[in-house]
Amino acid sequence: MRTLAEIKQFILENKAYGYDTDIKTIEKGKIDKHVQHILNQLHENEEIHFALLCISIYNGPSIVCSGTCILTITDERILYGCVGMLSTTTKSIKIGDCLDVASDTFGVFRGTIVINTKTEKVKFEAQKKSIPHLSKMIDDCLRTIADRSQKNGNVAQEVSPAEELKKFKELLDMGVISQEEFDAKKKQLLGV
């Protein structure tokens, strides 16, 4: 997702908001400046895979964003922030630094979701009935992105047959392997 309309549609279709009253906030366009602020922070090829509207985001005990806030998960990072009357806040955490997602409910109506990272705890509140759904969506998204980047990393680490053949040629030239061993490996690598 890279547009305001796509993000608003995602939030509404996936019920990715903390409270039922947030639907009116979205429909009235009251989140537009917050979403646009997040979109302006994206890197050139960065894509948003998850977006959430919430009220206030905490980092540990400290409040980072107050009022209407947007939390997104991209293919690179968790990016969240808000636009206030006097200041604009943006925070970013690399996906690789995320450890797990935890949730807790308290009282009759409310609960929290915490994204634990290597250095901080990103926490936000939501209505109690939304907690399991939102927690699962966030956890699933983080796992999918982590799995995808791990697979991409493994592909990048694979050595091409030409590179491997070059290494064996160097071993042959150094006298570490015989001509027969080199020829056998060459046939294996080239599939002949």
Question: In tens digits, what is the pLDDT along the chain, a chain of 192 residues?
Answer: 999 999 999 999 999 999 998 999 999 999 999 999 999 999 999 999 999 999 899 998 899 998 899 999 999 999 999 999 888 999 999 998 999 999 998 888 999 999 999 889 999 999 999 999 999 999 999 999 988 888 877 544 556 777 788 888 888 888 878 899 888 888 887 776
> HSE (CB half, 13 Å, CA atoms) of 51?
27
pTM above 0.85, yes or no: no
* Assigned fold of 4-157: PH-domain like (2.30.29)
Tokens of 7: 């993000």
Tokens of 84: 């206030």
Give the residue extent of every domain in the chain: 4-157, 161-190
Could you give the C-alpha distances from 28 to 6, 21, 22, 127, 137, in angstroms and in order? Answer: 16, 11, 10, 21, 25
**Opening angle at CA 166, ends 161 and 172, nearest 5:** 125
| Residue 64, C-beta contacts closer than 8 angstroms, at least 6 positions apart | 57, 58, 80, 89, 91
Q: Is 100 helix (H, G, I), strand (E, B) or coil?
A: strand
